[in-house]
């Protein structure tokens, strides 16, 4: 099997199964130069009912490209006497010496787009400041759960798997959940020893202990990592619990800052972050060349920013700064650079806004303008209107006296848009700006500064202008 494209397979990207007929069909296999694009299922799933030494004769699996825009690639293995296991790419390589030079699409997208304000945190003791109150686990012969100080932000949970039983469970009661609702789960982790694998899901508290959500897999790394995953609830339940399941004997993980809250969110799909033109498929910022005549027409709807270049908070704030100060969407590289710098300054846009606002672009476009024109331009780019006379007079006076910079005034105008219609204009401009930036991350050319300005120039408080702006971006990027 070589040079194939697998897209959106529902059970596994590629399944190798002897099907009780002996292993001859899999011996000496050659699986190379394939592109597998799936989400939430294994890239490769190997199952044998005949022999535990299947991998000794399986053949070559290498030089493939694995793309899951919403999470790291996983690999399933089921062998006689060993049960079923889900492996990370690193474990797959170490345990079975396969895919040693295969590659992974580098960027990640959030699986959901959150809209509106989140509900209250359902985990009353998720910061573990002084104890593990409210948490409990089983079985005793496997569970090693202790409170410790100093690893994270004050106290934290140290969760280990010991003893003869292969799996432990650690849980917290969260109360009622509703069918069709989405719950966002956030936490900090660090792998302390071994190769811990955490499975997390929502579960009915009383028999028959029905699972209420998908299972989310986390492989804590040796450094502190922040996770955000989502549970889509499948049934009403008056008394639910969140479960940590860990089946890695000898492994220990540190956990802190656990938050679970109901959110209004839209679930993304592979089609939403995948685009195609001219025989090339763009997946999470990476390009995959397709065979002649094979092409998907997949529209970018509701695409969220690629993860990895700065935090969500900083990327969103930097996008605001681009819109307010330059009147255009940020390019992915610039947005990531400034977001990373903002994170390094503790999340303060004030710490970087001076450097952000001193550029050749600013001097080229605004260098010859007077104070009145500069303040007016900021209002027009941010709010789509001219300033009121009192605001104009105040800010011009501050600039003339040297008490304020144009950068700090930009932040005032941006953060002061808290009521309609100004708040609606800002939200609509940021929506279109994010759409534009993500299309560029997916392979569309940014074009010139004027192309960026044009993308936002017609956006107002009216929703129809957002729809029209996105349609114009689509037609420019994917004609």
Are residues 175 and 235 both part of a single domain? Answer: yes
Are residues 99 and 127 both part of a single domain? Answer: no
Are residues 82 and 127 both part of a single domain? Answer: no
Are residues 94 and 139 both part of a single domain? Answer: no
Are residues 201 and 317 both part of a single domain? Answer: no
Output the domain CATH number for residue 203: 2.60.120.260
Are residues 90 and 155 both part of a single domain? Answer: no
Residue 285 inside a domain? The answer is no
Residue 391 inside a domain? The answer is yes
Are residues 408 and 455 both part of a single domain? Answer: yes
Are residues 97 and 157 both part of a single domain? Answer: no
> pLDDT tier at 359 (50, 70, 90 boundaries)?
confident
Q: Containing domain of residue 42, as a range?
A: 5-109
For residues 67 and 284, the answer to whether their CB atoms sit within 8 Å is yes
Which of the listed residues 109, 134, 149 is the one where a domain comes to its end?
109
For residues 260 and 184, the answer to whether their CB atoms sit within 8 Å is yes
For residue 7, the model assigns a pLDDT of 81
Are residues 156 and 63 both part of a single domain? Answer: no
Residues 140-161 as b or e (16 or more Cβ within 10 Å = b): eebbebeeeeebbeebbbbbbb
> pLDDT tier at 325 (50, 70, 90 boundaries)?
confident
Residue 340 inside a domain? The answer is yes
Residue of 282, 285, 336, 286 whose CA lies nearest to 314: 336
Residue 15 inside a domain? The answer is yes
Six-digit token string for 130: 């002084």
pLDDT in tens, 210-231: 999 999 988 888 888 888 899 9
Are residues 205 and 73 both part of a single domain? Answer: no
Torsional class of 446: left (φ above 0), alpha (ψ -120 to 50), beta (otherwise): alpha
pLDDT in tens, 120-136: 999 999 999 999 999 99
Overall residue count recorded for the chain in this entry: 479
Which of the listed residues 109, 130, 148 is the one where a domain comes to its end?
109
> pLDDT tier at 164 (50, 70, 90 boundaries)?
low
Tokens 């700090």 sit at which residue? 408
Are residues 319 and 420 both part of a single domain? Answer: yes
Residue 128 inside a domain? The answer is yes
- Torsion angles phi and psi, residue 58, rounded to 5: -65, -30
Crossing angle, helix 422-441 and helix 371-383, to 10 degrees? 80
Residue 381 inside a domain? The answer is yes
d(CA 479, CA 476): 6
Residue 270 inside a domain? The answer is no
Among 32-36, 84-88, 142-146, 353-357, which is the least confidently predicted range?
353-357
Residue 277 inside a domain? The answer is no
Which of the listed residues 92, 109, 126 is the one where a domain comes to its end?
109
- Torsion angles phi and psi, residue 204, rounded to 5: -60, 135
Domain count, the chain: 3
pLDDT in tens, 38-72: 888 999 998 887 777 778 878 899 999 898 888 88
The model scores a pTM over 0.75 = no
Are residues 470 and 358 both part of a single domain? Answer: yes
Residue of 279, 309, 305 whose CA lies nearest to 292: 279
| Average pLDDT of the chain to the nearest whole number | 83
d(CA 127, CA 113): 25
d(CA 69, CA 270): 7
Instruction: With a cut of 70, say whether residue 189 has pLDDT above it.
Output: yes
pLDDT in tens, 364-379: 777 778 999 989 988 9
Residue of 184, 180, 189, 290 whose CA lies nearest to 237: 180
């Amino acid at each position: 099997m070589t040079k194939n494209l697998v897209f959106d397979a529902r059970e596994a990207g590629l399944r190798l199964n002897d099907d009780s007929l002996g292993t001859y069909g899999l011996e000496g296999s050659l699986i190379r130069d394939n592109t597998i694009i799936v989400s939430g299922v294994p890239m490769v799933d190997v199952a044998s009912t005949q022999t535990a030494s299947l991998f000794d004769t399986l053949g070559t699996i290498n030089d493939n490209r694995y793309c899951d825009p919403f999470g790291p690639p996983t690999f399933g293995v089921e062998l006689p006497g060993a049960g079923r296991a889900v492996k990370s790419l690193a474990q797959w390589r170490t345990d079975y010496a396969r895919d040693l030079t295969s590659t992974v699409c580098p960027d990640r997208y959030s699986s959901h787009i959150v809209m509106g304000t989140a509900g209250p945190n359902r985990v009353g003791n998720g910061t573990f400041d002084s104890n593990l109150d409210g948490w409990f686990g089983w079985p005793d012969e496997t569970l090693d759960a202790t409170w410790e100080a100093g690893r994270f932000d004050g106290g934290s949970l140290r969760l280990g798997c010991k003893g003869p039983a292969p799996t432990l469970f650690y849980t917290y009661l969260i109360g009622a959940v509703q069918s069709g609702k989405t719950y966002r789960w956030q936490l900090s982790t660090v792998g302390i020893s071994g190769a811990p694998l955490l499975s997390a899901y929502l579960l009915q508290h009383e028999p028959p202990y029905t699972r209420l959500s998908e299972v989310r897999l986390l492989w804590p790394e040796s450094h502190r990592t922040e996770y955000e995953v989502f549970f889509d609830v499948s049934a009403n339940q008056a008394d639910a619990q969140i479960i940590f399941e860990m089946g890695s004997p000898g492994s220990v993980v540190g956990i802190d800052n656990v938050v679970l809250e109901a959110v209004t969110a839209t679930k993304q799909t592979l089609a939403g972050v995948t685009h195609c033109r001219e025989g090339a498929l763009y997946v999470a910022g990476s390009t995959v060349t397709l065979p002649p005549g094979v092409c998907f027409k997949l529209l970018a709807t509701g695409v969220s920013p690629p993860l990895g270049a700065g935090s969500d908070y900083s990327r969103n704030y930097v996008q605001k700064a681009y819109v307010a100060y330059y009147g255009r969407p940020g390019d992915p590289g610039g947005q990531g650079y400034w977001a990373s710098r903002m994170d390094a300054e503790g999340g303060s846009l004030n710490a970087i806004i001076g450097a952000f606002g001193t550029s050749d672009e600013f001097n080229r476009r605004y260098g010859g303008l007077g104070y009145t024109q500069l303040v007016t331009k900021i209002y027009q780019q941010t709010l789509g209107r001219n300033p009121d006379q009192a605001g104009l007079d105040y800010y011009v006076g501050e600039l003339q006296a040297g008490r304020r910079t144009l950068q700090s005034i930009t932040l005032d105008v941006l953060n002061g848009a808290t009521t309609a219609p100004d708040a609606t204009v800002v939200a609509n401009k940021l929506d279109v700006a994010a759409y534009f930036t993500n299309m560029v991350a997916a392979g569309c050319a940014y074009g010139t500064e004027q192309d960026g300005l044009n993308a936002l120039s017609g956006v107002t408080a009216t929703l129809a202008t957002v729809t029209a702006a996105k349609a114009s971006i689509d037609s420019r990027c994917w004609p």
